[in-house]
Amino acid sequence: MTAELDHRSVERRSVRARASGKVNLQLSVGPRSEDGYHPLATVFQAVSLYETVTAEVRDDELITLSMSAGPGLPGDLDGVPLDSTNLAWRAAEAVRQEFGVTDGVDLSIVKGVPVAGGMAGGSADAAAALVACAEAWHCGATREDLHRLAATLGADVPFALMGHTAVGLGRGDQLSPAMTRGEFHWVFAMQHEGLSTPAVFAEFDDQVARGERTAVTPRVDAEVMAALMAGDGALLGKALSNDLQDAALSCAPRLRDVMETMRDGGAVGVVVSGSGPTVAALATSAHHATSIAAYVRAAGAADVVMTASGPATGTVILEG
């Protein structure tokens, strides 16, 4: 064995990256396009609930994936695939193809964002896997390379790379940073049972077909942008909106009670996060968020209640 190979097998390169979950402050949805997707105008905010992905280079060409739940995460991980259909696995494969890498990788994920919760935990896994693999394999990938690969993996993956607060157009993947001031304080009411994003979009289509709602050209709400610029949580609370909310409530009617309880608990704004079932409530301070969370917990309105703040960072390398 050569000295070089010896060195490789002793020092396996390992990189750990972290990406945040998100909440949509506004989600404006247009009519379904021919490609099956809906044109969106959305304002994303990354929040301090994190997915951590470690990529350890293998000497052979295999990809493996393991996953564990971080402390307090609702739901079990049984339904999450650990094979080539997992978004993090697909991210590793995309990097390998793009840069002609022949090595394999062991991916291990620690989840801090609820599964199928409407907070883009799977997209955060993909973003963190892209960054960790590109770094571990020394691909020399640019931010642009990673963004392009991210957009092929899913509509929310580019934002998971970018983080902070951003306007998303197109499928949600055409991003521009939003001006914000200060910090916003959130309470998230989570459910053990997830909701499927395609099912919620399909219910949205049915509501449009039944004439219960209209799907107009999506637009960014000026009030949301003004509240962000002012750093005014109470103003932002009033401006929160989500065109998928009625569809999510129709798929999971119990969420109405969750929303009501969060309002009773003193939230300045309550909205279903993305395609649900997580319900997001805005508070005016960290202390206020803690008190709303205590109220919602005591009422038994949700399976798990967590507090977080935003904007949080995009994907960052923690180690390696």
Active site residues: 22, 156
Contact map string, positions 24 to 43, toward ligand C5P, x by CB under 6 A: ------------xxx-x---
Residue 100 or residue 198: which is nearer to ligand C5P going by CB? 198
Per CB under 6 A, the list member of 198, 211, 253, 300 interacting with ligand C5P is 198
Between 146 and 296, CB nearer to ligand C5P? 146
Among 21, 104, 121, 172, which residue sits at the site for ligand C5P (rule: CB under 6 A)?
172
Question: Taking the complex as a whole, how short is the minimal distance between the CB of residue 301 and ligand C5P, in angstroms?
Answer: 27
- Smallest gap from Cβ 136 to ligand C5P, in A, equals 25
CB of 71 to ligand C5P, least distance (A): 26
Q: Give the residue among 140, 142, 147, 141 at the shortest CA–CA distance from 126.
A: 147
Q: Which stretch binds ligand C5P (CB under 6 A): 12-20, 151-159, 259-267, 290-298?
A: 151-159
Q: Does position 288 bind ligand C5P by CB under 6 A?
A: no
**Binds ligand C5P (CB under 6 A): choice among 155, 178, 259, 271:** 155
Q: Check binding of 117 to ligand C5P (CB under 6 A).
A: no
276 close to 244: Cβ distance less than 8 angstroms? yes
CB of 124 to ligand C5P, least distance (A): 12
Which residues of this chain interact with ligand C5P, rule CB under 6 A? 36-38, 40, 154-156, 171-172, 197-198, 201
